Amino acid sequence: MTDFATIIACGGKATRFGADKRQQALGGQTLLERAIARAAVYGGPVALAVTERTQAPKTDLPVLVDPRGDMGPIGALASGFGFACEVGCAHVLLIASDQPFLPNDLPRRLADARGDAGVALPVSSGHDQNMAGLWRCDRRALDAYLASGRRSLWGFAEQVGIARVEWDEQGADPFADIDTQADLIAAQARIIRE
């Protein structure tokens, strides 16, 4: 399955973390490098989504800038839809640069479950993981949603319909993200254990 573009959202302000998370080292790579490597495993085109041009890292990958200003994750989705259409993909796999343990079979399992829903989301530890979703590119629906003044990625997911995929993993949560320095320390310990 390669009918999707992977968009790595890496333009957050990281206020809880207190530094540029993308450049934090984990297991011999930065968090952003780990996300790019995981996206390469998934196959298909890859792009990075940032809030503003000054956040763009040095990379050979396309860098997408939030088309409407600081909209948060839904800005990454909006620019991702545009990129996917340009490269001939009908879907976007939206992932975050601060989720270093995403499973290798993520896009396949989401695609298998999506059906007619606008997005397939994994459910891990009882929580929907909206920053690891496979979205059908529907620019018209997203433009209408944004024109109404709404900015919630969750709200848009509910509007287009969600297919939930229970992630029955043994051990540590594959969707754990790095929000704080303590999260990074825990992730470093997890790398050593694994």
Q: Tell me, what CATH number does 162's domain have? A: 3.90.550.10
> In this predicted structure, what is the pLDDT of residue 139?
94
- Determine which of 84-88, 115-119, 152-156, 169-173 has the lowest per-residue pLDDT on average: 169-173
The domain tally of the chain equals 1
Domain that holds residue 114: 4-193
DSSP 98: T
- pLDDT tens, 40-70? 999 999 999 988 777 777 789 999 988 777 7
Residues 13, 55: Cα–Cα separation, whole Å? 10
- pTM, 2 dp: 0.92
Q: How confident is the model at residue 1 (pLDDT cuts 50, 70, 90)?
A: very low
Q: How confident is the model at residue 118 (pLDDT cuts 50, 70, 90)?
A: very high
Q: How confident is the model at residue 112 (pLDDT cuts 50, 70, 90)?
A: very high
28 φ, ψ (degrees, to nearest 5): 85, 0
User: Who contacts 42 (Cβ-Cβ below 8 Å, separation ≥6)?
Assistant: 4, 6, 93, 104, 106, 107
SS3 of residue 167 by DSSP: coil
Average pLDDT over residues 6-30: 79
- pLDDT tens, 98-109? 999 999 999 999
Q: Partners of 7 in the beta sheet?
A: 47, 94
Average pLDDT over residues 8-20: 71
SS3 of residue 38 by DSSP: helix
